[in-house]
Amino acid sequence: MTQDVTVIGGGISGLACARAVHDAGKTVRVLDRGRRVGGRLSSRTIEGRPVDLGASYFVVGEAERFAHVVADWAERDLARPWTDTFVVIDADGNQTPKPGPMRWAAPRGLRSLALDLAQGLDVVSERAVERVEPYRVGGEPSGEVVLAMPEPQAARLTDVRLGSGAEWEPVIAVVLRWDERQWPADLHGAFVDGDPDVSFIADDGDRRGDGAPVLVVHTTADRARRHLGDPGGAIPPIVDATRRLLRIDADPVSTFAHRWTFARPTETTGRPFFRSPGLSACGDAWGESSAVRTAWASGDALGRVLAAS
pLDDT digits (tens, 9 = 90+) for 41-100: 989 999 999 999 999 999 998 888 999 999 999 999 999 999 999 999 998 889 999 999
Ordered alpha helix ranges (H), the chain: 12-23, 64-75, 111-118, 151-154, 204-208, 221-225, 235-246, 292-308
pTM of this structure:
0.95
Q: Judge whether residue 1 has pLDDT over 80.
A: no
pLDDT > 90 in the chain, percent: 89
Q: Judge whether residue 21 has pLDDT over 70.
A: yes
Compute the distance between CA of residue 274 and CA of residue 280 in angstroms, rounded to an integer: 5
Give which of 141, 144, 164, 139 is closest to 154, Cα–Cα.
Answer: 164
Q: Which fold has domain 1-43+110-166+269-309?
A: FAD/NAD(P)-binding domain (3.50.50)
Domain 56-108+167-266 is found in CATH 3.40.50.300 = no
Residue range 119-125: average pLDDT? 96
Residue range 143-150: average pLDDT? 96
pLDDT value of residue 164: 64
Compute the distance between CA of residue 278 and CA of residue 164 in angstroms, rounded to an integer: 18
pLDDT value of residue 287: 82
Digit-coded pLDDT (tens) for 202-260: 999 999 999 999 999 999 999 999 999 999 999 999 999 999 999 999 999 999 999 99
Provide the pLDDT confidence category of residue 162 given band limits of 50, 70 and 90. Answer: confident
According to DSSP, residue 233 is labeled G
Q: Judge whether residue 293 has pLDDT over 90.
A: yes
List the chain domain ranges. 1-43+110-166+269-309, 56-108+167-266
